[in-house]
Structure 1
Amino acid sequence: MPFAIYVLGLAVFAQGTSEFMLSGLVEDMATDFGVSLPAVGSLTSAFAVGMIVGAPLVAMLSLRWPRRRALLTFLITFLLAHVVGALTHSFEVLFVTRVIAALANAGFLAVGLATAASMAGPQAKGRATSVLLSGVTLALIAGVPLGAVLGEVWGWRSTFWGVAIVCTPAVFAVLRSVPATPVDPAAPSVRHELRAFRTPRVIMTLVLGALVNGATFCSFTYLTPVITNVTDLSSGWVPATLALFGIGAFVGVNVGGRLADSRPGQVLAVGGAALLVGWLLFALTAANPAVALILAFVQGTLSFCVGSTLIAQALYTASAAPTLAGGFATAAMNVGAAAGPALGGLALGADFGYRSPLVVSAVLVAITLVLAGAARAIGITGGKGDPGGAQNRPAERPLEARS
């Protein structure tokens, strides 16, 4: 993999840390600004909405920009939004900075996925995708806990400064490592790229990705009450459990990256079935501490292995729309990340118990498998071929196994 792809992964690490870090800072921020906890929680919702809406929209606006310029613009905007957020004493200004940061994050990830895929070559999009998504998983493992420690020691503003500091070397690294290639005059227009999303195969891939990500974040969001109320472990075990899930996620994106380019069908079929069984088993055995801790790692691995493979497949199936493919894949991921916890919250609110988010995750994965099977049965996913041969065209790469 070219060094520049790892640089993009560093920037995604900083942005992923920012996306998830508020979970450990809400009480201090509410006290500082004199607002309610739900008001601070709205910052997370604003970021999610910004990511969903912003990914395709900002990708379209930047379609005629050279990719290095687009990456630098988004990354510097993201950095400055955190500087303003760290300095402001107005909750309204902070809210605006979170929306701006989300739009910049969405644009960077959309263009970053396209850039990494093009630099890696036509047959290594899965590996390139895994490097960028490793930044997200490392944010779950290290970035968010470190942000919580910074917030505990020096206050929540130090966490915003920390994100800005991590972004700074990434700016210079992007400037030096990403080639300053001009826009290809023959590059497809927005209208041409949008046509790629009329095909059922592309739409189906994005829907499957949203469902799997929804299942992932449904259970991840409510893992703490499962561990403390069902498994009956003390709150001191919560960071370790979340870390196990995050480590599993890191393993999963790297395993998925190795297999997504050569055996995507096997990953989706076998991994998807194992993911369904895992969520059901977790729901049934959550009272057993040893099994619960093991399954936290296993489900993190399977979730991100299958999820990263689907993102890579979105880049393959929409190769006629290289920039917007990254934008719509980013939006689909965040639709799942927003909808999954909402569905889990509804199950909890209906008094179905603390295990119910695990069951909801299982249902979402089951729907994914049914849709994928139906798509294959009616021919949406196409025929078989040789993924590694010269005759293989990335735009025709199917969802099912190729051999």
Structure 2
Amino acid sequence: MPLPLYLLAMAVFAMGTSEFMLAGLLPDIALDLDVTVGTAGMLTSAFAIGMVVGAPLVAALARDWPRRSSLLGFILAFASAHAMGALTTSFPVLFATRIVAALANAGFLAVALTAAATLVSPDRKGRALAVLLSGTTVAVIAGVPGGSVLGTLLGWRATFWAVAALCLPAALGVLKGIPRGRGQEETAGGPVLRAELAQLTRPPLILVMLLGALVNAATFASFTFLAPVVTDTAGLGELWIPVVLVLFGAGSFAGVTLAGRLSDRRPGAVIAVGGPLLLIGWPALAVLADEPVALFILVFVQGALSFALGGTLITRVLYEAAGAPTMAGSYATAALNVGAVVGPLVAATTLSTTAGNLGPLWASGLLVAITLLTAFRFRAVVAVGRTAEVVR
């Protein structure tokens, strides 16, 4: 894999730390800004809404911009939004900064996904995507737990400042590692924007985007509200929250690495094996969450299965959107973050039911069940690997 791909992953690490870090900070933010934990959870949805709206919009605007300048600008805008969030005492303002940060993140990721696909041969998109997403999983392993510890010791605002500072070396990496060049280099003689947008009318592309969104919704539904499960249901102290997040992140790294090796040629096998196991795992976690050992094991397993399945489906999005070379990354980003919007919203509604803190885990199981039923119905489309795709 080329060096620029790893530099893009470093920037994704900085942004992924921000996207996931709220899972360990929601109780403190809610207390400090005088809102409920459920309301604070909407900060995750605000970020995802900005990603959903921003990915196609910013990608369309930036398709002809110099790639290195675009990526650098997005990172600096992201850092500025976090500095403002660290300073505010208003929940609405914090909510707004999350949307601004998400727009910057969306633009960066949409351009980065497209760039990653052009840095490797056409049959290695899954491997390239795995490297890029490894930035996210390392963020869950190291950045998010580190942010959680920092938030516990110094307050949640310190974590926002840390993310802003983390963007600076990532910006330097992009500046030094991404070659000069304009977006037209991939699309010279290629489709115009209208033709790329028309790809969204293709049923196979819509299907894999929907499935990717559902899996990510299941992931975010539980991940966003893991902190109360750790402290209330399992009865562990606050410092155990980052431990659980590390386990989830370690699992996700293993899962996305596995998906990177299989999703190009054998996506059907990943879905057929990982899907049912993921479906069983969420209810099992809900039942056994009061047992710390079982909680630790299942969090790791669910992280691995969630990212293996989700990474495979997002790779399918890139393949199905091959006719949209500058917009494919934005379609994948939008699919991921539609799920990130829906998941916490669905999960938040379960917190006031008799299921309480375990409601999000049951909701995740339901979302995975819907995914598998849909995937089974259209398995001929979902399970097509790269080899067959080249032939057809």
The verdict on a shared fold, with TM-score over 0.5 as the criterion, is yes
Partner of 1:283: 286
1:273 pairs with 262, 271, 276, which one?
Answer: 276
Matched, 1:336 2:339: yes
**In structure 1, C-alpha distance between the alignment counterparts of 2:126 and 2:179, rounded to whole Å:** 21
**Equivalences for residues 18-37 of structure 1 within 5 A:** 18-25=18-25, 36=35
Q: TM-score, normalized by length of structure 2?
A: 0.88
Structure 2: 5+ residue stretches without partners:
none
In structure 2, what residue type is equivalent to 1:360?
A
How far residue 314 of structure 1 moved from its aligned partner, in angstroms, is 0.6
Q: What CA deviation, in whole Å up to 9, does each residue of 1:223-275 have, x standing for no partner? A: 33434454455555433222211111111111111111221111111111221
The answer on whether the counterparts of 1:315 and 1:322 sit within 8 Å (CA) in structure 2 is no
**In structure 2, C-alpha distance between the alignment counterparts of 1:325 and 1:291, rounded to whole Å:** 39
Partner of 2:227: 224
SS in 2 for 1:123: helix
**In structure 2, C-alpha distance between the alignment counterparts of 1:159 and 1:47, rounded to whole Å:** 16
**In structure 1, C-alpha distance between the alignment counterparts of 2:85 and 2:357, rounded to whole Å:** 35
**In structure 1, C-alpha distance between the alignment counterparts of 2:362 and 2:170, rounded to whole Å:** 40
**In structure 1, C-alpha distance between the alignment counterparts of 2:104 and 2:228, rounded to whole Å:** 33
**In structure 2, C-alpha distance between the alignment counterparts of 1:274 and 1:92, rounded to whole Å:** 39
The answer on whether the counterparts of 2:42 and 2:345 sit within 8 Å (CA) in structure 1 is no
**Equivalences for residues 3-402 of structure 1 within 5 A:** 3-25=3-25, 36=35, 43-86=43-86, 94-182=94-182, 183-184=184-185, 185-376=188-379, 380-381=381-382, 386=387, 392=390
Alpha-carbon distance change, 31 to 240 in structure 1, aligned in 2, over 3 angstroms:
closer
How far residue 192 of structure 1 moved from its aligned partner, in angstroms, is 0.9
SS in 1 for 2:63: coil
**In structure 2, C-alpha distance between the alignment counterparts of 1:173 and 1:23, rounded to whole Å:** 28
How far residue 222 of structure 1 moved from its aligned partner, in angstroms, is 3.0
In structure 1, what residue type is equivalent to 2:245?
L
Q: TM-score, normalized by length of structure 1?
A: 0.86
**In structure 1, C-alpha distance between the alignment counterparts of 2:24 and 2:140, rounded to whole Å:** 12
SS in 1 for 2:378: helix
SS in 1 for 2:137: helix
SS in 1 for 2:323: coil
SS in 1 for 2:179: coil
**In structure 2, C-alpha distance between the alignment counterparts of 1:277 and 1:149, rounded to whole Å:** 31
In structure 1, what residue type is equivalent to 2:66?
P
Residue range with higher mean Cα deviation, 10-19 or 170-179:
170-179
Q: What CA deviation, in whole Å up to 9, does each residue of 1:325-367 have, x standing for no partner? A: 2112212211212212222222332323544332222221111
**In structure 2, C-alpha distance between the alignment counterparts of 1:227 and 1:123, rounded to whole Å:** 42
How far residue 81 of structure 1 moved from its aligned partner, in angstroms, is 2.6
Alpha-carbon distance change, 65 to 347 in structure 1, aligned in 2, over 3 angstroms:
same
How far residue 297 of structure 1 moved from its aligned partner, in angstroms, is 0.8
Alpha-carbon distance change, 225 to 176 in structure 1, aligned in 2, over 3 angstroms:
closer
Q: What CA deviation, in whole Å up to 9, does each residue of 1:83-128 have, x standing for no partner? A: 4444567766554433221101011011111111110221111111
How far residue 298 of structure 1 moved from its aligned partner, in angstroms, is 0.7
**In structure 1, C-alpha distance between the alignment counterparts of 2:64 and 2:80, rounded to whole Å:** 24
How far residue 164 of structure 1 moved from its aligned partner, in angstroms, is 2.4
Structure 1: 5+ residue stretches without partners:
397-403
**In structure 2, C-alpha distance between the alignment counterparts of 1:135 and 1:384, rounded to whole Å:** 25
**Structure ID, larger Rg:** 1
In structure 2, what residue type is equivalent to 1:10?
M
**In structure 2, C-alpha distance between the alignment counterparts of 1:353 and 1:43, rounded to whole Å:** 20
Alpha-carbon distance change, 349 to 36 in structure 1, aligned in 2, over 3 angstroms:
closer
Partner of 1:400: none
The answer on whether the counterparts of 2:22 and 2:224 sit within 8 Å (CA) in structure 1 is no
How far residue 385 of structure 1 moved from its aligned partner, in angstroms, is 7.5
Alpha-carbon distance change, 353 to 28 in structure 1, aligned in 2, over 3 angstroms:
closer
Alpha-carbon distance change, 317 to 228 in structure 1, aligned in 2, over 3 angstroms:
same
Alpha-carbon distance change, 375 to 295 in structure 1, aligned in 2, over 3 angstroms:
same
The answer on whether the counterparts of 1:26 and 1:37 sit within 8 Å (CA) in structure 2 is no
Alpha-carbon distance change, 287 to 212 in structure 1, aligned in 2, over 3 angstroms:
same
**In structure 1, C-alpha distance between the alignment counterparts of 2:158 and 2:237, rounded to whole Å:** 28
**In structure 1, C-alpha distance between the alignment counterparts of 2:386 and 2:156, rounded to whole Å:** 53
How far residue 186 of structure 1 moved from its aligned partner, in angstroms, is 1.9
Q: What CA deviation, in whole Å up to 9, does each residue of 1:290-343 have, x standing for no partner? A: 333211111110111111111111101111113322112212211212212222
The answer on whether the counterparts of 2:150 and 2:159 sit within 8 Å (CA) in structure 1 is yes
In structure 2, what residue type is equivalent to 1:167?
C
SS in 1 for 2:354: coil
**In structure 2, C-alpha distance between the alignment counterparts of 1:343 and 1:41, rounded to whole Å:** 11
How high is the sequence identity, in percent, across the aligned residues? 52
**In structure 1, C-alpha distance between the alignment counterparts of 2:223 and 2:26, rounded to whole Å:** 18
Partner of 1:399: none
Alpha-carbon distance change, 345 to 174 in structure 1, aligned in 2, over 3 angstroms:
same
